[in-house]
Structure 1
Amino acid sequence: MKKFLLILTTMLFAIVALAGCGADNKQGQNKVIKVGATSVPHAEILEQIKDDLKKDGITLEIVEYSDYVQPNLNLNDKELDANYFQHIPYLEDFVKQHPEVKLVNAAGIHIEPMGIYSKKVKNLKDLKDGATVSIPNDPTNGGRALALLAKAGLITLKDGVGISATVHDVVGNPKNLKFQELEPAQVPRTLDDVDAAVINSNFAMQVQLNPVKDNIFIEDASSPYVNIVAVRTGDENRPEIQALIKALKSEKVKKFINEKYAGAVVAAF
C-alpha cells in the first residue's frame, strides 16, 4: 500500500511538473506582431527585418494592402499591431475625418518623392492645351499632387491652401489642364490614356516605373511627407513596437533602401 501511494505521489508530482513546463513553454513562445503595409516599398523593407526581430523573440507577420483606408481601420480595430504605409499629413487628415480612430505616429522611416510621369511628352512644356492630368483623389495626396504641379509652374494655387488644396483652389491654369481624380493605386494605370499623371513613388514602382529615371518632374529632398509606422494611441512604448522601430531604423535597412531603390526611396533617419 505504501509502495502504491509512493508511486501515485510520484506520478502526481510528474504531472504537475509537466503542466508547469507546458505553461512556461507557452509563455516563452515568440510574440507575434502583425503589421499592415503596401507592397512596395513598405512590405519589402519589413521583410528585411524579420530575422532580426526573430532574434528578439518576435515573429513579424506582414499583411499587405492595396488601399490607404483599410490599414488604418484594421489597426484601430486591433486586427493589426501597427501599420507602415502612410505619411504624416495623411494620418493627420485621416484621424480628423474619422474621429473614432485613435492612431499616432510612432516613428518616421523613409520618404518617397512624388513625381509627374508621362508617356506622351518628355518635357512639361510640351503638354498641349487642355491636357488631362490624373492625380490621387485622397485629400492629402491630392493636395500634394497639386502643390507639385504648382511647383512645376503648370498651375497656380490659392494662397495659403497648402496640402489641403483641391482642384477648386486652382486659380491659374494657363494650359487649361483637366484633372482626373482617382484612387492613388489606380493613377499609374491611367498613363496610356492621359497626358500626364502625378504618382506616389511606391505605386510608380509597382508598375515598373523608375522614379529617378522615368519622371519628368519630381519632389526634392525638402519633402515633408515622411512615411511612418502608425500604432494605436498608447501602444507607442510597447516592447514589440519599440523593437520593430529599432530594427527599421538600423544601418542594415538604410543600406537596403539605398541599394534597392537608388534614390526613389530615401531613408529619413
Structure 2
Amino acid sequence: MKKWIAGSVLVLSAAVLGACGSGEEASTKEAESLVSDGVLTVGVTGGPHEELVGKVAELAEEQGLDFTIETKVFSDYVMPNVALAEEEIDLNSFQTEPFFEEMKKSRDLDLVRVGDTVTFPMGIYSLDYKDVSELPEGAKIGLPSDPTNSGRALALFEKAGLLKVKEGVGLQATVMDIAENKNNYEFIELDSAQIPRQLNELDAAAINTNFALEAGFVPAEDSIFIEPSDSPFVNLVASRTENKDDEAIKQFLELYHSDEVKQFIEKDFSGSLIPSW
C-alpha cells in the first residue's frame, strides 16, 4: 500500500460567481467563504482518509484547477468536527453517519452531510486466534469506547455469535445491554485509536478499518471476522451548514466520486474499503 500522503497541498479550482444587483456583495462573500484565501482545508484521520483526499488533490492538480487543497490530520474522532464547527477547517472526511449525528447532537454542532465516500468494514482481530470460534471462555475482548462505535462493535460481536444484546436497543447498545454472554467474555472498552497497540494484551478486539490499516493489518485477510459488504456504516464528507452549497465543495465531491478514485480504492486497498457513492 502506498505511503500515507501527509499534509498534501495540491490544486483544485472552483468557479466563484457573483450575483447582480443589490445582493452582489453578500452573494460573493458567501461564494468565496471557503476559498477566499486560495485554500480548501480538509480534516482527515491519518491513514486511508488522508490518502483518499490526497488522491483527490492529485486529480485536481492534473486538471489544472486553481486553488489548493490542504489536509489537516487528526488523531481522534472528536476534534475534526469541533475544528470544522470552529472554522479551523473547511470540510472533514473521516466518519460514519451514526457517529456524525451523535456528535452533532451531543455538542450542538451546526454541520451537515454533503456527500458519501467509502465504507470501512469493522473487523475482529486477534494475534493468537484464527477464528472467533477459537476464543476461550473468559477471553478479554476489546471494543471502542465512543458510543457509536461501541454499539457497532457489539452488533458485530452479535453477528459473530459471541453475545446477544437486548432486543430493540440497536446501535445505542452499550456493554450494559449485553443480554447473553455464555462464554463469560470480558468486554473492555478502549479508545479506538489505542486498540491496535493494546491487542497483545487482549485475546481479540473490534478495530475500525482505518486504525487496523495504520497498524499494518489487511482487513480482508487478517481479520478473524468482518462486517458484511452491506454494512450501513458509510463514511461521509461534512461541512458547515452555511457552506453546504459552496462551489468548491461540489467540485471536490465530483473529483472524489470519479472513476479514477474508485479504481485507486480497488487497486490500493484490496477489498478493505468499499466505494459507496
Which of the five TM-score ranges fits, normalised by the shorter chain? 0.7 to 0.9
Distance 2:179 2:246 in 1: 47
User: SS where residue 74 of structure 1 aligns?
Assistant: helix
The amino acid of 2:204's aligned partner reads A
In the alignment, which of 72, 76, 80 is matched to residue 81 of structure 2?
A: 72
Structure 1 residue 230: deviation in Å? 0.6
In the alignment, which of 82, 85, 99 is matched to residue 91 of structure 2?
A: 82
Structure 1 residue 29: deviation in Å? 8.8
User: SS where residue 154 of structure 1 aligns?
Assistant: coil
The amino acid of 1:72's aligned partner reads N
User: SS where residue 133 of structure 2 aligns?
Assistant: helix
Distance 2:118 2:131 in 1: 28
Match of 2:106 in 1: 97
Q: Deviations over 1:65-117 (max 9, x none)?
A: 11001100000000000000001000001111111x11111101100000001
Match of 2:269 in 1: 261
The amino acid of 1:85's aligned partner reads F
Q: Deviations over 1:202-233 (max 9, x none)?
A: 10000101101001100011101111101111
Match of 1:163 in 2: 171
- Superposed, 1:204-243 pairs within 5 Å as 204-243=212-251
Runs (4 or more) in structure 1 with deviation over 4 Å come to 27-30
Match of 1:31 in 2: 38
Mean Cα deviation higher: 208-217 or 119-128: 119-128
Q: Which runs of 5+ in 1 are unaligned?
A: 1-26
> Does the Cα contact within 8 Å between 1:30 and 1:57 map onto a contact in 2?
no
The amino acid of 1:71's aligned partner reads P
Q: Deviations over 1:27-72 (max 9, x none)?
A: 9998211000012100101111213334231200000111001100
> Does the Cα contact within 8 Å between 1:30 and 1:59 map onto a contact in 2?
no
Q: Which has the larger radius of gyration?
A: 1
Provide the TM-score with structure 1 as the length reference.
0.87
The size of the alignment, in residue pairs, is: 242
Q: Deviations over 1:229-265 (max 9, x none)?
A: 0111121110111111111101110000000001100
The amino acid of 1:240's aligned partner reads A
Distance 1:243 1:31 in 2: 14
CA RMSD, Structure 1 to Structure 2 (Å): 1.5
User: SS where residue 102 of structure 2 aligns?
Assistant: helix
Distance 1:161 1:97 in 2: 19
